[in-house]
Amino acid sequence: MSTLIVPQQVPSVADDCEQLRKAFAGWGTNEDLIISILGHRNATQRKQIRQTYAEMHGEDLLKALDKELTNDFESLVTVWVLDPAERDAFLANVATKKFTSTNQVLMEIACTRSSHELLLARQAYHARYKKSLEEDVAQHVTGDFCKLLFPLVCSYRYEGDEVNMSLAKSEAKIIRDKIEKKSYNDEELIRILATRSRAQINATLNQYKNEFGNDINKDLKTEPQDEFLALLRATVKCLTSPARYFAKVLRLAIERRGTDEGALTRVVATRAEVDMKMIKEEYQRRSSVHLERAIGKDTHGDYEKMLLALVGDESA
């Protein structure tokens, strides 16, 4: 479901490093050359390029990119070059440092990665920041947001398909009860979303819909302006249909007045190799326009070219 286009004949890692070095050399920078290489290599290949570049040229590729590139293009190339776990650690760290009640990045990382990927992100967080992700979340996030986000970032969910139907029924009732009382920050409600396996949560929410008539997220929309409720709805969405969640993030990032480049960069860089094909389908279904076209309309220059390369635009 990746949209990344890797050429059938990939040059050797040493060749890629040599070409990148050339792209940086002299006056100006050859951005097209950078995109033609880094925009068309998978995570393993990029990791090898970064290692080999450091060995050949005695400099971290990220440092070199930082010197040569600017603005949104630089941000995109930089997070893209990072190893996925390191990238998640970086994005999570930024989110804890500048946490606001509308920032859903921590939840997004906690709920759309596999248990193992989330663990790798926590390990990368140790290595990079010399502390744990959860201590930063616990320290910087407060109130109901912390009550929900702390167990989410600490979770190591069971990933099997087994479903306990009687548990699904009883927990659907618990959820219904809390929603009726508008106890959206209730411990039981949070416990269920933060600890149950995705398969179990799906069964519980199907049961909820069968028994009580609505999608849970419809019932959670009573106060559309409430930011905690918005986070709760997004949590449900990330756990049950991540592609729909990401398509919506892209829509909001693109359709608002003035693009939200941060969100656009994050979603494209983190999902290109995961489920961008599905996200594109969802995007088109809801916006009646191809994502590539929307990106082309809203961005420009090297940033646009790199985005288009990553979402699999054949011409990029």
Does 157 interact with its own copies (rule: CB under 8 A)?
yes
Question: In one letter, which amino acid is 28?
Answer: G
Helix-helix angle 71-81:43-57, to 10 degrees: 100
298 is in an annotated binding site: yes
122 is in an annotated binding site: no
Residue closest to 216 by CA, chosen among 226, 208, 204: 208
Does 154 interact with its own copies (rule: CB under 8 A)?
yes
Rounded to 5°, angle at Cα 172 from 186 and 147: 25
Task: Return d(Cα 181, Cα 211) in angstroms, integer.
Answer: 17
Interface pick for its own copies out of 41, 87, 113, 196 (rule CB under 8 A): 196
Rounded to 5°, angle at Cα 193 from 269 and 82: 20
Interface pick for its own copies out of 12, 42, 139, 183 (rule CB under 8 A): 139
Secondary structure of the chain: what % helix, strand, coil (to 5)? 70, 0, 30
Interface pick for its own copies out of 197, 259, 265, 299 (rule CB under 8 A): 197
256 is in an annotated binding site: yes
Scanning 29-37, 81-89, 124-132, 272-280 for contacts with its own copies by CB under 8 A, the matching segment is 124-132
Does 150 interact with its own copies (rule: CB under 8 A)?
yes
The distance of closest approach from Cβ of residue 121 to its own copies in the complex, given in angstroms and rounded to an integer, is: 10
Scanning 48-56, 129-137, 231-239, 276-284 for contacts with its own copies by CB under 8 A, the matching segment is 129-137
CA distances from 196 to 146, 201, 202, 208 (A): 18, 6, 10, 15
Size of site (CB under 8 A) for its own copies? 26
The distance of closest approach from Cβ of residue 116 to its own copies in the complex, given in angstroms and rounded to an integer, is: 9
Interface pick for its own copies out of 91, 194, 279, 294 (rule CB under 8 A): 194
Residue closest to 270 by CA, chosen among 60, 91, 53: 91
Cα 195 to the center of its chain, rounded Å: 20
Does 170 interact with its own copies (rule: CB under 8 A)?
no
DSSP state of 315: T
Interface pick for its own copies out of 59, 66, 159, 211 (rule CB under 8 A): 159
Does 14 interact with its own copies (rule: CB under 8 A)?
no
Task: Return d(Cα 4, Cα 7) in angstroms, integer.
Answer: 10
Interacting residues toward its own copies by CB under 8 A: 119, 122-123, 126, 130-132, 134-135, 138-139, 150-151, 154-160, 162, 191, 194-197
Annotated binding site for Ca(2+), which residues? 24, 26, 28, 68, 254, 256, 258, 298-299, 304
